[in-house]
Amino acid sequence: MTQRVYDPSDKHPPKYQQDLNPDAAAGINYGRVGPHPEKEDPRTAYDVKEAHRRLADFTDDQLKQIPVLPAGSRLEQDATYIDLADPDRKEFKAMASMEAGPGALIVPKSEVDYQLWNLLRGVTDPARTGSVPGT
């Protein structure tokens, strides 16, 4: 017997679903329920001019490892992100109703190596960033 995977859009009969639960998959952290423009059109800080400018001290190889979510990407509930457009670059935990807005440069922590993540956060300790002093 095959186990059926829960899909929140099946909660109501199809003809009532849009009225009763229009954002059924908002913030769900499993599978590919709902729209995921970041999967269809993956971009990195290397590809996004504003992100490239804000991360001028990063190498091209590092920039290519930093995904930037396109506007309209829904953020996952309790997942950690950084908005490169924020001058303080503080981590934040997303709520289910959040999405990447226009002008935002949202980077998901789950998609970035921890040493590179520390560099994004402004950590300078070589033990946490993988950099060798004097190079």
Per-residue pLDDT of the chain in tens (135 residues, 90 and over written 9): 555 555 665 666 777 667 766 666 665 555 445 555 555 668 999 999 999 999 999 999 999 999 999 988 889 889 999 999 998 889 999 998 898 999 999 999 999 999 999 999 988 887 777 776 554
pLDDT on residue 9 = 59
Nearby residues of 27 by Cβ (< 8 Å), 6 or more positions away: 74, 75, 76, 77, 94, 95, 96, 97, 98
pTM surpassing 0.75?
Answer: no
Please report, for the chain, the start and end positions of each structural domain, with discontinuous segments joined by +.
Answer: 33-119
Report the distance separating Cα 80 and Cα 101, nearest Å: 16
Report the distance separating Cα 92 and Cα 95, nearest Å: 10
The helix/strand/coil state of 37 is helix
